[in-house]
Amino acid sequence: MTARILSGVEVAAALRAEVSAAVAAHTGAMGLATVLVGDDPASHVYVSLKHAAAVAAGMVSIDRRLPATATQAEVEAVVDELNADPDVVGMIVQLPLPDGIDGDRVVERVDPGKDADGLHPLNLGRLVLGRPTVTPATPTGILRILDHYHIATVGALAVVVGRSFLVGRPLALMLGARGADATVVQAHSRTAGLADLTRSADLLVVAAGTPRLIGGGDVKPGATVIDVGTTRTESGLVGDVDFASVVEVAGAVTPVPGGVGPMTIASLLANTVSLARQRRGSR
């Protein structure tokens, strides 16, 4: 068996086209702001990609960068300024923040109505309660991939390996919510009998941050495997899944790169459109 390759590039292109049409129909500026602190190379590359995508979609891209020596008060002051700017519809605080900066405090400082990442405690709380809200970008992108390729989740056993508040925890909630209706097991790298568990999954999502954690012997034949991991090595990006062995067992699998990654940025843009509509509806 050779698995079907689930291209996030294709799905992201379709979503970006939807976003561009929505931005063109929007009255007034639709600004997406990012706050980047420090010199982390990966963060700088990622933020630059976000800005390029926002501009391509017709949004106003607002780029606020602070040095690694910035204080907590200085970072929070920038967030306050963007909260007060009427042209800023969505905002992203690029994580992780440098040592000495309390990232939780900074994220909580963001106006929940401008939270394009969907990571503010209020928005995560609404997700737990099943109330309409913006949802974290990467889990949202994963669900869009499944929908695009008509991969059913209703009644499926979904195993999510990883428990971060960026991906694992919110994704488990979203897969188990009404409409998705999967039976969800949350696991992690310290789960006893992890391989036995992953081999039972109809849908396996790996977001543990451990390169090649899952091999072909850890996957149920015909299962759908979503690889969220990205670790940069001398030979390029490597996922949490050993693609070469898993592709011979799974029914469908996302590649790294070109799988989940493109969906994260596209989903951030879609979240910004949703925030603009919410703002318009509240007036």
* 277 in a structural domain: no
Distance, in Å, from the CA atom of 203 to the CA atom of 146, rounded to the nearest integer, reads: 10
Domain limits at 239?
136-262
Residue positions annotated with a catalytic role: 50, 94, 117
Are 6 and 135 contacting, i.e. CB atoms less than 8 angstroms apart? Answer: no
User: How many other CB atoms are there within 10 angstroms of residue 146's CB atom?
Assistant: 24
- Same domain as 151, residue 74: no
* 172 in a structural domain: yes
CATH number at residue 255: 3.40.50.720
What number is the average pLDDT over the span 129-146?
A: 95
CATH number at residue 38: 3.40.50.10860
* 245 in a structural domain: yes
Q: What pLDDT is attached to residue 1?
A: 63
Q: Where are the alpha helices (DSSP H) in 205-260?
A: 243-246
Is the pLDDT at 248 greater than 60? The verdict is yes
* 77 in a structural domain: yes
- Same domain as 235, residue 155: yes
Q: What pLDDT is attached to residue 28?
A: 86
- Same domain as 145, residue 84: no
- Same domain as 102, residue 197: no
pLDDT, tens digit, 9 for 90 and up, residues 212-244: 999 999 999 999 999 999 888 887 889 999 999
Are 29 and 86 contacting, i.e. CB atoms less than 8 angstroms apart? Answer: no
Cα 194 versus chain centre, distance: 24
Segment (H or E) for 107: helix 103-109
- Same domain as 97, residue 41: yes
- Same domain as 87, residue 153: no
What number is the average pLDDT over the span 156-166?
A: 96
pLDDT above 70: percentage of residues in the chain: 99
- Going through 56-172 in order, the beta strands assigned E by DSSP cover 60-66, 88-93, 157-161
* 92 in a structural domain: yes
- Same domain as 179, residue 95: no
- Same domain as 45, residue 150: no
Band of pLDDT at residue 279, cut at 50, 70 and 90? confident
Q: Whole-number mean pLDDT of the chain?
A: 95
Is the pLDDT at 280 greater than 70? The verdict is yes
Distance, in Å, from the CA atom of 99 to the CA atom of 150, rounded to the nearest integer, reads: 43
- Same domain as 250, residue 210: yes
pLDDT, tens digit, 9 for 90 and up, residues 41-95: 889 999 999 999 999 999 999 999 999 999 999 999 999 999 999 999 999 999 9
Q: What pLDDT is attached to residue 234?
A: 80
Q: What pLDDT is attached to residue 282?
A: 54
- Same domain as 172, residue 221: yes
* 279 in a structural domain: no
- Same domain as 82, residue 185: no
Q: What pLDDT is attached to residue 135?
A: 96
* 190 in a structural domain: yes
Query: Cα angle vertex 83, ends 37, 63, to 5°?
Result: 40
* 240 in a structural domain: yes
What number is the average pLDDT over the span 160-170?
A: 95
What number is the average pLDDT over the span 12-26?
A: 96
Given 81, 114, 147, which residue is the final one in a domain?
Answer: 114
- Same domain as 110, residue 37: yes
Q: What pLDDT is attached to residue 257?
A: 93
Overall number of domains in the chain: 2
pLDDT above 90: percentage of residues in the chain: 90
